[in-house]
Structure 1
Amino acid sequence: MEGLERVRARFTVDLHPSKLANAAEGVRAHLSSLLLRYNEDLEGVVMSYANERVLTKTACIHPYFPYARLEVTAEVVLFRPRPGIRLVGIVNKAGADYLGLLVLGCINVAVAADAIRAEFRPRLLEHCWASSKTAAHRLEVGGKVHFDVAAVRHHGAFLSIAGSLQEPSTGAEGFAKLAKRPEGGKKQQQQQPDKQQQGQQQQQPQQQQQSGKKNKKKRQSEAAAAAQQQAPPAAQQQQQQQQAATPAPAAGAKDKKRKDKKRKDKKRKAEAAAAADDAAGAPTAAAAANSGGSAEPKKKKKRKEGKA
Structure 2
Amino acid sequence: MGNLQEDKVLLNVAIPPALLSQPKLSAQVALNDLLLTYVPDLSGIVLAYSDVKFTLRFGRIVYDSPIIKARAQAKLLVCRISLGESIPCVVSQSTSEFLGLLFLDIFHVSVPARNIHGATFSDGFWRHNGNPIDIGAPLSVGVVSIANVSNHLVIDGQIELTTGDNRPSEHAPPSSPPAKKKRRKQSRDQK
Fold shared by both chains (TM-score > 0.5):
yes
What does 1:95-244 align with in structure 2 at a 5 Å threshold? 95-124=95-124, 128-133=125-130, 135=131, 138-141=132-135, 143-155=136-148, 158-168=152-162
Structure with more contact order per residue of length (Cα contacts < 8 Å, sep ≥ 6): 2
Question: What is residue 51 of structure 2 aligned with on the other side?
Answer: 51
Say which structure is richer in helix.
1
Contact in 2 for aligned 1:52/1:73 (Cα 8 Å): yes
Say which structure is richer in strand.
2
Query: What is the alpha-carbon distance in structure 2 between the residues aligned to residue 44 and residue 26 of structure 1?
Result: 23
Task: State the 1:170 CA deviation.
Answer: 6.7
Task: State the 1:117 CA deviation.
Answer: 4.0
Contact in 2 for aligned 1:3/1:82 (Cα 8 Å): no
SS in 1 for 2:9: strand
Question: What is residue 223 of structure 1 aligned with on the other side?
Answer: none
What does 1:10-25 align with in structure 2 at a 5 Å threshold? 10-25=10-25
Which runs of 5 or more residues in structure 2 are unaligned? 171-191
Deviations 1:166-215 (A, max 9, x none): 1448786789xxxxxxxxxxxxxxxxxxxxxxxxxxxxxxxxxxxxxxxx
Higher Rg: 1
Letter in 1 for 2:128: S
Contact in 1 for aligned 2:38/2:46 (Cα 8 Å): yes
Q: TM-score, normalised by structure 2?
A: 0.71
Q: TM-score, normalised by structure 1?
A: 0.47
Letter in 1 for 2:133: L
Deviations 1:231-263 (A, max 9, x none): xxxxxxxxxxxxxxxxxxxxxxxxxxxxxxxxx
Task: State the 1:10 CA deviation.
Answer: 1.0
Task: State the 1:155 CA deviation.
Answer: 4.7
Q: Figure out how many residues of one structure are paired with residues of the other and give that number.
A: 168
Query: What is the alpha-carbon distance in structure 2 between the residues aligned to residue 99 and residue 76 of structure 1?
Result: 31
Deviations 1:273-298 (A, max 9, x none): xxxxxxxxxxxxxxxxxxxxxxxxxx
Deviations 1:45-69 (A, max 9, x none): 2211112221021111232321111
Percent sequence identity over aligned pairs: 21
